[in-house]
Amino acid sequence: MNKYTPADKKTMYFIGVTTKKSSIMKVFPRWMDYFGIDAQIKGIDFIPHDEAEKYREAVSFIKHDPLSLGALVTTHKIDCYRACRDLFEGSGEYAQLLGEASSISKRGTELWAHAKDPITSGLALEAFMPNGYWTNTDANMLLLGAGGSSLALTLYLVNKAKHSDDVPKKIVVTNRSEGRLKEMQHIHSMLKLPFTIEYHHCPTPSDNDVLVNSLPEGSLVINATGLGKDGPGSPVTDAAIFPKNGYAWEFNYRGELVFMDQARAQQKARNLTIEDGWVYFIHGWTRVIAEVFHIDIPTEGPEFDTISQIAKETR
Ligand SMILES: NC(=O)c1ccc[n+]([C@@H]2O[C@H](COP(=O)([O-])OP(=O)(O)OC[C@H]3O[C@@H](n4cnc5c(N)ncnc54)[C@H](OP(=O)(O)O)[C@@H]3O)[C@@H](O)[C@H]2O)c1
């Protein structure tokens, strides 16, 4: 039985797990006012790795309902794309490479799938790293966690390197399970990488500490594990020593964010720059909204700052 009601005004969907809790529910209406679009957002909650039929039902509904214009997909990016592949008339290059879709939109009568993380994670990175930083230093990038967003960031750098040498010369990736490292390695093996990369199986936070402690000065340590939001704790222990003059980036902006507290405890002594996932969140949503409503939304400059400010006011 179809539980979806045809939209009576332009509607974008958020396909996630606990969508009502997300800041976007408050931010979206304010952004729509700003863009002058009369549209609403509706959450669709599935449990992680839900039945394929449920994903198909939701995506088929969006495909055939005229005022349902598209969706942003979080946790179910891979499962949903896999279950609904034949429903899409077109898929972007990254969606095909990664086998996932975080953006569902319409182009005329066609339904399109895109993977936006390789773009949005890069925009978020560039927002706080100084221009030319990687060209001018031998700092490394340490990615704690080899999941989807970590892989996406490496793909952003692969693409950036086609027109710039401002990418890390060395990346170190760790993961709790070996499988994710192998998946990442498999995708990397199909590409020409502009950096050297080491993959480390690190089942415990103490294993991650060893790699944090051995980073050269100025390196960037990223918590891409979800620990501190999706799960308790942090991927490193309190004994980890962040690199002098380095950077610490937590991919999330809500939750306990223990990793950020650990970095803050050393901020003065190690002269650290610390960043959370708020700007990543803004880019993540605005890139999909631009696709769904076919509007131009800048990725920097005064208009982007206004869009960010509107979102901040709802925090
Ligand atoms: N701010 C934003 O807008 C934004 C955007 C994208 C992502 N994020 C956040 O970033 C986090 C990661 O996202 P994702 O899509 O990449 O998730 P994901 O695919 O679930 O990846 C997380 C990875 O971290 C690994 N991990 C967990 N604990 C670890 C530890 N102690 N040491 C090393 N690796 C560990 C997991 O390994 P196993 O294989 O062992 O589970 C998994 O491979 C999520 O919390 C997400 O919400 C935020």
Ligand 1: distance of its center to the CA of 245 in Å? 25
Same-domain pairing of 305 and 178: no
- Is 295 within a domain? yes
**Rounded mean pLDDT of 261-272?**
98
Give pLDDT tens digits for 67-104: 999 999 998 999 999 999 999 999 999 999 999 999 99
Confidence check: pLDDT of 261 > 50: yes
Q: Is 262 in the pocket of ligand 1 (CB under 6 A)?
A: no
pLDDT of 185 > 60? The answer is: yes
Enclosing domain of residue 271 = 119-276
Same domain, 293 and 164: no
Give me the pLDDT at residue 1, please: 40
Mean pLDDT estimate for the chain? 96
Is the same domain home to 267 and 292?
no
DSSP code string of 77-113: HHHHHHHHGGG-SEE-HHHHHHT--SEEEEETTEEEE
How many structural domains comprise the chain?
2
What was the pLDDT predicted at 2?
Answer: 46
Looking at the domain assignment, is residue 2 inside a domain?
no
Cα(217) to ligand 1 centroid in Å equals 25
Q: Over pLDDT 90: what percentage of the chain?
A: 94
Q: Tell me, yes or no, whether 239 and 160 share the same domain.
A: yes
**Whether 193 and 129 share a structural domain:** yes
Please tell me the distance from the alpha carbon of residue 104 to that of residue 195, in angstroms, as a whole number: 32
| Whole-angstrom distance, CA of residue 43 vs CA of residue 71 | 9
Residue of 59, 62, 42 lying closest to 50 (CA atoms): 59
Whether ligand 1 lies within 6 angstroms of the CB of 149 is answered as: yes
211 lines ligand 1 (CB under 6 A): no
68 domain residue, yes or no: yes
- Give, for ligand 1, the residue of 201, 225, 227 to mutate: max count of ligand atoms closer than 8 Å to Cβ: 225
pTM, to two decimals: 0.94
Residue 3 has pLDDT above 90, yes or no: no
d(C-alpha 202, C-alpha 211), whole Å? 9
Q: What is the pLDDT of residues 124-171, one digit of tens each?
A: 999 999 999 999 999 999 999 999 999 999 999 999 999 999 999 999
